[in-house]
Each structure stands twice: as structure tokens, then as C-alpha cells.
Homo-oligomer: A and B are copies of this chain.
Amino acid sequence: MHERELLRRIFDVSAGLGPEVVIGPGDDMAMLRPAGWSFSHGGAVGEGCGGGVLLAVDQLIEGVHFSRTTASLSQVGHKAMARCLSDVAAMAGKPRASLVSAVLPPSMSDDDAMELFDAMRATADMFHAPIVGGDLAAHRSQDHPLTCSITVMAEATDRGAVSRFGARAGDLVCVTGSLGGSLDSGRHLDFQPRIGESIMLHAILSSRLHSMIDLSDGLGIDAARMLEGADGLQVRIDAGVLPCHDGVDWKAAVSDGEDYELLCMVAPGDIPTSIVECPLTVIGEIVDRPSLEMPPVVVSSGGVEHDVSSSGWEHQG
């Protein structure tokens, strides 16, 4: 089984989702505008494409996404919630509520379970996504993996949601923060989703913000995902300007994954160098792909072009 291929096959069937589903499966979140619902912000009804309900679900599984030998239950709870909130950041949405389901080891004490949930709740509350519902069960065997599934409901702003698709030739490729070394440093356990930065970025760039994704699997592979369905485009990244964490080279920055920074494609023009206190770096551009033989994502380093379209990791092969 290959998770992403299977998800694609599953959702290929559901072509007819109806007019209420503005953004369907395959993006960071789905967006709905149910008939009869309206959304306004500060009293003004959303103009243009504004408003909508954003929904996404994400799992965190012991042995796949974390190990209990290296992560505390507080860190597991935080990461479970923060990963799902990072999807909200990728859409430039405002979190509104969350739900949690979990299957816990049978021997887990109530105090340990509370540590896990208190961490989820603290992160959820910090980003205005209170946990409004949940479901718990115990595994039959101590060997079975602790599993959390988090659903987040968010709201698109008046400017609409930002899809991961929509890059155009000539766009500048930008990334927040710094990349690489997330697993070794433990940053994958304590990162903060870029919710505020994302909304502000969208407010500043407005319709120039063509597409956005949060970097979960690695810059190479995630950039390639943004070009799905756009075979004629290529992402060209300049290794020399890649913002790397200390001790991380460009190859690790491209492939380590779990950065949870934002990668976005922006129409040419002024780009701020930071959003609040978060650096924003132009790392490359979108060009017309010379031919379908050429890779969709390349990094140029020292005059050499490297294919990084598959650089990153998938949680199973």
C-alpha cells in the first residue's frame, strides 16, 4: 500500500462532490460553502471569493511519526495538534475548533492520558481552535501503537483560502523561517504552526499569493506536489540563498522534512523580508519547464543543477 497513491485513487472516485465543495480532497484542507451559510468579518460580508469552512484531518501514530522513547506525552500531544494547525496555516485560514480521537495503550494511566490531552488543548487554545469533541478507546494489547487523529475546522478569510496549486511562470518562490535538521534537533516536536504569519502574509500580498503549502515531508517533494497538474512548470531553487538551520547543508534542508515552514509562490514584485519576526526568503522562481524530460524541481548549486523532486520522506514506502 502506498498511502498517497491510495488516497488519490480513493478520492478520484468522488469527482461529484457538488457545488458546495469549493476545494476538494488533495489540498491541505477542503473548503466548503454550504448553501444558506454566510460568513462575514468585522461586519462586512466577504467580497469576491471570501469566506468558507475549511476542514482537515491528520493522524499521529507511534512508530510512524514519533517514538515514545524520545518524545514525552506532552510533546506528542503538541505535535499532533500543531501538525493539523499547520494545514490551516497552509490555507491562510483562521482556526475555529478541533476534535480529537485517540486509541491509547491499555496500561496508560489517566494521568498520562491527561498529559497528552492537556498538551493538545494548550496548543489548540493558543490558536483559537478549542477541542469541542473527542472519542477515546483503549487498545487490546500493550504492543499496539498509540494513535491520535485530529480534525480542525477553520474559516477562510474574506480574501479566500490559498490553495497549494496555482503557481505561475515568473512567480517567486518564498519560504518562512529556516529549514533542515528538524528530527535530529527535536524541532519536529516543538514547532509552532505559522498561523499568524500566514494570515498576515496573505493580507500583505493579497492576490499575488498564488499558492502555499506547509513543509511536512521536505522542500523537494512538497514543491513537486505544488506543481501536480501543472506539467509545464518547473521550480528552480538557488542553494546559495536557502535559509538553513545551523549545521545543516542545503541537501538536508531540501530533504529532511518536518519543518512546518510555509512554502509559497508569489507574483513578481516587492516581497517583505520578514512577517512579524519571522524571516521570509526568496529562494527561487517558477519557470517554464524546458521539457517533460526535465525534473519539476531543481536546486542549482555551484553551477550544477540537482533534481530534488523526490527529496524528502514519506511515512511509508
Chain A residues proximal to chain B, CB less than 8 Å: 1, 3, 5-7, 9-11, 13-14, 17-18, 20-21, 24-25, 29-30, 32, 34, 36-42, 53, 55-59, 61, 63-64, 96-97, 99-101, 103-104, 106, 108-110, 113-114, 117-118, 121, 130-141, 143-145, 147, 149, 151, 153, 155, 315-316
Contact = CB atoms under 8 A, between A and B. Distances in A.
Contact of A137 (B17, B56, B316): B316
Contact of A138 (B1, B143, B153): B1
A135 B55 CA distance: 12
A108 B41 CA distance: 46
Contact of A10 (B53, B117, B153): B117
Given A103-B61, A130-B18, A132-B30, A10 B114 contact: yes
Contact of A101 (B58, B97, B141, B155): B58
25 contacts: A1-B138, A5-B110, A6-B114, A6-B136, A7-B134, A11-B131, A24-B132, A25-B134, A29-B133, A30-B133, A32-B132, A37-B38, A37-B40, A37-B155, A55-B99, A55-B153, A57-B99, A57-B133, A58-B135, A59-B101, A59-B103, A64-B140, A135-B149, A141-B143, A153-B153
Contacts of A145: 103, 139-140, 144
A64 B3 contact: no
Number of copies of this chain in the oligomer? 2
Contacts of A61: 103, 137
A241 B56 CA distance: 45
Given A1-B110, A99-B57, A134 B316 contact: no
A101 to B, nearest CB: 4
Nearest to A61: B137
B108 A1 contact: yes
B36 A39 contact: yes
Contacts of A109: 1
Contacts of A113: 1, 6, 10
A101 B97 CA distance: 18
Contact of A17 (B36, B106, B132): B132
Contact of A25 (B34, B101, B118, B133): B133
Contacts of A6: 110, 113-114, 136
